[in-house]
Structures are given as C-alpha cells and as structure tokens.
C-alpha cells in the first residue's frame, strides 16, 4: 500500500476506534497521560509498520499491543535515570504481567465512564473528564457546553486525573449492589454526550453522528447491566431524538424546525423501539426525569403532523417534569409548549420571568424563543434585539445562519 493509502487507513481507525483503544490502555496502564502518550505513539508507528507489513487483521488489537509495549519502553527509560527506581520497576512488572483480551475492549469505555464518574471525584469534574477522555471532545467544546472558561475546565480535568491516579480508583464497573447509587452521574454523562452530538455546541455542522451513536451504544450497554426504568427512559429519549436527525437539516445543511420537518424522513424503527421502551419504563411506576422527557418525545414522534401534536398532553408532562426536576431550561421548554397551546403572550411572560431572575442569561435558545414570541405578537423591535443577543451567544454556523435569516425576515 502507498503511504497515502496507509495514512488514510490509520486516520480511519483513529476516528472509529481511538477512544476504545485509549480506554483499554488506561485500564492496562492505570495512568491517563501515559495511556494517551502510548496511544499516539502506536498510531504514529502504525503508518510505517502497516506500509511495510500490511494492515493487520485486527487493527485495534495491534494498536493496543503496540501502545502497551511503547509504555513499557517508556517506563524502562525512566527507570534508568529516576531515583524512584523501585516504584518504576514495580509499575513495569505489573504492566508486563497484566493480561488483556480484545474481547474486553468493547466494555472498556463503559468501565472508563464509571471511573470518571466515581464519587471520590469532584462532581463538577466528572462530566468534563468523561467528555474529554471517553468522547474526545476538546476542552473548548466542553467549556462551551458548560458555559465555562476553557482554563477552568482544563484544571478540573487535570485534578480529576491526579485524584484517580493517587487514590488508585479502579477501572471497573461497580458491583450490582453498588450500581444503583452510581447510576445518576453516569446517566447524566451519557445524555450530555448525546446532546453534544445531537446539537453540537460549535462548528460547521448541526450534529455529530459519532457522538449520538456512541451515547446510544453506551445506553444499550448500561441497560444490559441494569434494566431500570430511568436507564430505559434515557435510551428511549436518545432513540426518539435520533429518529429525527435526518429531517433536522435541509439538503444544503440549513436548520429545519420541528414543525417544518419532513416526517417521512423520521426513522420508524427507532420510533417504535423508543416508544416501546417508554411504555415499559412508565409501567414500572418508578420512573423519573428521563422517562418523562422520553414520554414528551414520544408524543411528538407519534403525531402524524405538527398540527396534530397533542400539546395539552405535552404541557401536562412538562408540569410533572418540573416538579420532579426543577430547571429553568425545562421551564423554557414548557413555555414553548404553552405557546402552542395557548398562544405566545403567556409564553413570553414566563420567559421574561426566567430572565428576570438572572437565569439563562447566556443561553441563546432563551433569546431565540423570546424573539419568536415577540415576532408573533408584532413587537418587532424587541424581537430584533432578542435575535441579536441570541446571535451573539451562538457559535454553531447552522444556528447562526438560521437566526440571521429570522433577522432578515423582520426587515
């Protein structure tokens, strides 16, 4: 194979499997930074070796082995020049004796998620660490999702890695007895991964299919481990949202609102699976916020047309959801549903109350919603100002173009 062909194949494997490989190396090496260095070394030498020897039958296993040997070499070099030789030699011996099978690789990301969400870590570090290490989001993307400074997010990640190393937090899925107590943070992480894929926080594309697919895969793995109502609810919610992905953008990549989507493009199989999971979860009567959000998504999915959507039911479900999980974002979503049921005036009053409390001041969707309701009421100067503020807060190009189109329409 030519250098170009091998390089293209290595890049393809990196896109598809680098996070699986990294998760396995973290488990084997017990050190985030050593694992990341070893993984990149393995991909670097793959270009030369695969050109000479051919692409291996199992590239992922080859890269894990190559990364592991690179880490051993690195530790040996350090041992020669480091005063803490006994510690390094012990690390080296443990590494050489550790076993691994390619069959384990599939579950290593789930193990890594539970490690990143370990209760010994600070709560505000668990999600950023998982998004960085499991999903390969940049620090800037994570900071945008959290409305935080990149430097602050980077510090949280560094501290969390050090805590895992120093406290020797194990890379394993908790026992069945421990699993329920550890579940909430893991569900939150998986849903944040999905959300970043479903509506990317920045960039030229509205969606990142690799992240939505990964979140759904992790949701399925988790449901096999613990088929609880909220796990079913989260998986159903992701499936129902994912069913609409193809209809959310036009052929030219422009944003298409839910009411205007071509419902023939919705994935009927994902809708059927999601709705069945919603029914199963609600039948347990132990449901929580994810089940309620999935139920709302199911009402949308089952409506033949936008005009036939059961808005009273959606408003009622949002009211139950607000009692279960008070949140200004849920209030905003309820206001949007109220606008469909009762008209824009009451919805605008609710949004102004949220902003008046100092909440969602940096959330572009709050201003987009306010602008739309002002436009419907003929308050065009207010609509223009709200769209301008939404535009200032938006870094995703399809959403920026959509808002710019709305602003132009006001003229």
What are the pLDDT tens digits along the chain (411 aa)? 778 888 899 999 998 888 888 888 888 887 888 888 989 999 999 998 998 889 998 999 899 989 888 888 887 777 666 655 566 556 656 655 666 555 555 578 778 888 888 888 988 888 889 888 887 788 887 887 666 788 999 999 999 999 998 888 888 878 777 777 788 888 988 898 888 888 876 666 777 887 888 889 889 988 887 888 999 999 999 999 999 999 998 888 888 999 999 999 999 999 999 999 999 999 998 889 999 999 999 999 999 999 999 999 999 999 999 999 999 999 999 999 999 999 999 999 999 999 999 999 999 999 999 999 999 999 999 999 999 999 999 888 889 999 999 999 987
Q: What is the CATH number of the domain that holds 13?
A: 1.10.1740
Residue 299 lies in a domain: no
Three-class DSSP labels, the chain: CCHHHHHHHHHHHHHHHHHHHHHHHHHHHCCHHHHHHHHHHHHHHHHHHHHHHCCCCCHHHHHHHHHHHHHHHHHHHHHHHCCCHHHHHHHHHHHHHCCCCHHHHHHHHHHHHHHHCCCCCCHHHHHHHHHHHCCCCCHHHHHHHHCCCHHHHHHHHHHHHHHHHHHCCCCCCCCCCCHHHHHHHHHHHHHHHHHHHHCCCEECCCCCHHHHHHHHHHHHHHHHHCCCHHHHHHHHHHHHHHCCHHHHECCCCCECCHHHCCHHHCCHHHHHHHHHHHHHHHHCCCCCHHHHHHHHHHHHHHCCCHHHCCHHHHHHHHHHHHHHCCCHHHHHHHHHHHHHHHCHHHHHHHHHHHHHCCCCCCCHHHHHHHHHHHHHCCCHHHHHHHHHHHHHHCEEHHHHHHHHHHHHHHC
- What global pTM score does this model have? 0.74
Residue 41 lies in a domain: yes
Q: What's the chain's length in residues?
A: 411
- pLDDT, residue 201, reads 67
Measured CA distances, 24 to 19, 121, 281, 377 (Å): 9, 21, 33, 56
Residue 85 lies in a domain: yes
Quote the number of domains for the chain: 1
Residue 271 lies in a domain: no
Q: How far apart are the C-alpha atoms of 15 and 60, rounded to whole Å? A: 12
Measured CA distances, 385 to 255, 280, 351 (Å): 21, 45, 15
Residue 66 lies in a domain: yes
Expressed as residue numbers, the domain containing 59 is 1-100
Q: ∠241-244-249 over CA atoms, to 5°? A: 120
Residue 142 lies in a domain: no
Residue 392 lies in a domain: no
- pLDDT, residue 286, reads 84
Residue 254 lies in a domain: no
- pLDDT, residue 113, reads 84
């Amino acid at each position: 194979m030519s250098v170009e062909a091998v390089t293209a194949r290595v890049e393809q494997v990196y896109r598809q499997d680098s996070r699986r490989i990294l998760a396995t190396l973290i488990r084997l090496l017990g050190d985030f930074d050593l694992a990341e260095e070893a993984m990149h070394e393995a991909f670097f030498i793959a270009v030369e070796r695969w050109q000479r020897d051919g692409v291996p039958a199992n590239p992922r296993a080859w890269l894990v082995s190559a990364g592991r040997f690179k880490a051993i070499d690195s530790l040996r070099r350090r041992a020669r020049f480091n005063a803490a030789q006994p510690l390094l030699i012990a690390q080296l011996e443990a590494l050489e004796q550790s076993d691994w099978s390619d069959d384990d690789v599939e579950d290593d990301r789930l193990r890594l998620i539970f490690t990143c969400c370990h209760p010994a870590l600070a709560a505000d570090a668990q999600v950023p660490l998982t998004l960085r290490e499991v999903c390969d989001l940049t620090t800037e993307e994570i900071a945008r999702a959290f409305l935080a400074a990149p430097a602050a997010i980077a510090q949280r990640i560094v501290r969390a890695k050090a805590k895992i190393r120093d406290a020797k937090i194990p890379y394993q899925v908790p026992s069945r007895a421990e699993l329920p107590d550890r579940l909430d943070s893991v569900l939150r992480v998986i849903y944040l991964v999905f959300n970043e894929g479903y509506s990317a926080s920045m960039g030229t594309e509205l969606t990142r299919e690799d992240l939505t697919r990964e979140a759904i895969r992790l949701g399925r793995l988790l449901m096999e481990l613990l088929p609880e109502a909220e796990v079913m609810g989260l998986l159903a919610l992701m499936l129902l949202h994912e069913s609409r992905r193809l209809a959310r953008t036009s052929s030219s990549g422009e944003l298409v609102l839910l009411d205007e989507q071509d419902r023939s493009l919705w994935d009927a199989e994902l809708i059927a699976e999601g709705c069945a999971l919603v029914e199963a979860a609600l039948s347990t009567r132990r449901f929580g916020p994810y089940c309620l959000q999935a139920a709302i998504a199911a009402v949308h999915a089952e409506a033949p047309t936008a005009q036939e959507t059961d808005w009273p039911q959606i408003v009622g479900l949002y009211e139950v959801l607000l009692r279960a999980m008070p949140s200004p974002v849920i209030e905003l979503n309820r206001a949007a549903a109220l606008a469909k049921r009762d008209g824009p005036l009451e919805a605008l009053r609710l949004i102004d109350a949220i902003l008046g409390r100092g909440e969602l001041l940096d959330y572009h969707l709050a201003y987009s919603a306010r602008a739309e309701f002002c436009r419907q009421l003929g308050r065009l100067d207010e609509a223009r100002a709200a769209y301008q503020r939404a535009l200032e807060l938006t870094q995703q190009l399809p959403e920026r173009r959509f808002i710019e189109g709305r602003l132009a329409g006001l003229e």
